[in-house]
Amino acid sequence: MKFKTAAKKMISATVAGMMVVSLAACGGSGDSSGGSDAGKEEGGSSDSVTLEFQQWWGVELPDGALADICQKFTDDTGIQIDLLSNPYADTKTQIASGAASGTMADVVGLDGSWVYDFAKQGSIANLTDLMGSADYDGSQLSSQIQFEGNTYMIPVVNFAYPMYANKDILDAAGVKELPTTREEFLAACEAVKKYDENIAGWAIPLSSESPSGIQNQFMTWLWAAGSSMLEDGKPNLEGNADLEATVEFVKEMFEKGYIADGAYSMKEPDMVEEFTNGRVAFMTDGVSHLTTIKEGAPDLNFDYITVPVTEGFSGKSGMDVANWGIGIAENCEHKEEAWKFVEYLMSPEVNAELAVLANAFPGNSKADPDYSASDELFVKAYELFQSCEAVNEFTGLPTSEDLMRSFGEELQLYLDGDTASAADMLKKAQERWEPAFE
């Protein structure tokens, strides 16, 4: 699955237009892959309405699966769904183009990193208002992505990031219990190092070209222990004792040689390769890689655990997630019908079906997906996910990829000893983050 983040905040439609021009060569044709060929109708009853649904999901789901789901909605309501399915990068370009010109498809698949820009532009609709008008119970949603206190994106399915543990390495190193706290994790890494210095305890990809390691591997330690990098939606890095302790924890692992070599140039696929080849005992990664790992190393004996927490923590642990989100265009002429479609996709039965098809976890907390045909480790990951709070504080932030990159750059300076303390490092990161929120 692809979970890329937007490169720069689009402050105005003019900037967005420039982005579209620069990326136009990458865009797809936007041809329909299912649903009706009819154009949008002006007014009229539900059975005369056609909604365009632009997304990348249809490309990544089994052939025809999304079209079948949409056809059932049409059969029930008479509302036609015109599917516009293209790969992620093309979809991103086309939706940005629609945002700039006011011609966005009625319903759009969204990456959480796009929400701030589109909501600030006014190109996506306020879902809080639409939910209120429909008397919809939003408490059944696992999460809602907001801008200035209102919801603009709903995560449809979630791709969780538990911790992977190589049981054969840990057994050989004499680690009898999988760690649940940071202290136990450090002890396990030390045991692995004593067993074989060529095997790392943990890996973190810190490449500035693909800075998602700050989101998916670093901040997961903070979120697991119920802490936050934000306060009232704004950066809360400087003076954040929990975050400072997390920075110091990661530096301790670096200094003790527990982290895999090459972290500064490592990207997520490199980390997965290190784990798959038995050169890393632990990694934090998406469940989406489960099939790839099992196909590449069918004899690899590994398990899932939640990210270890700070000593004494007794609250509900947070688990990092990425997701497929959905929103409605502000230029949509049939918002009531569009909301009916969103509500249909988020209904427990349909949402459960989508989750199984996507090898993901549902966005409706009342959904009961049938994972009986799934790998037993996938089922365990789902159980862990249900016991945790789904969290990703980068979702919905302005220029989120740049925020990760600047944080990673400051972290590397601290790890190299070029910054005196974790407090100084976070102060500098705070100063670099603040302009994005002005």
- Predicted confidence at residue 45, as pLDDT, reads 47
**Count, residues in the chain:** 438
Strand, helix or coil for residue 101: helix
- What is d(CA 256, CA 307) in angstroms, rounded to the nearest whole number? 20
Task: Look up the pTM and report it.
Answer: 0.80
- Predicted confidence at residue 337, as pLDDT, reads 98
* CATH superfamily, region 13-159+322-386: Periplasmic binding protein-like II (3.40.190.10)
Q: Which residues pair with 54 in a beta bridge?
A: 84, 108
CATH 3.40.190.10 positions along the chain are 13-159+322-386, 163-305+398-437
Q: Which residues pair with 83 in a beta bridge?
A: 34, 53
Residue 200: what are its φ and ψ, rounded to 5°?
-85, 150
Low-confidence ranges of the chain (pLDDT < 50): 1-45
CATH of domain 163-305+398-437: 3.40.190.10
pLDDT tens digits, 313-343: 999 999 999 999 999 999 999 999 999 999 9
- Predicted confidence at residue 46, as pLDDT, reads 55
Cα–Cα distance list, 256 to 280, 417, 421, 422 (Å): 15, 14, 17, 17
pLDDT tens digits, 74-109: 999 999 999 999 999 899 999 999 999 999 999 999
- Predicted confidence at residue 47, as pLDDT, reads 58
- Predicted confidence at residue 14, as pLDDT, reads 39
What is the rounded average pLDDT for all residues in the chain?
90
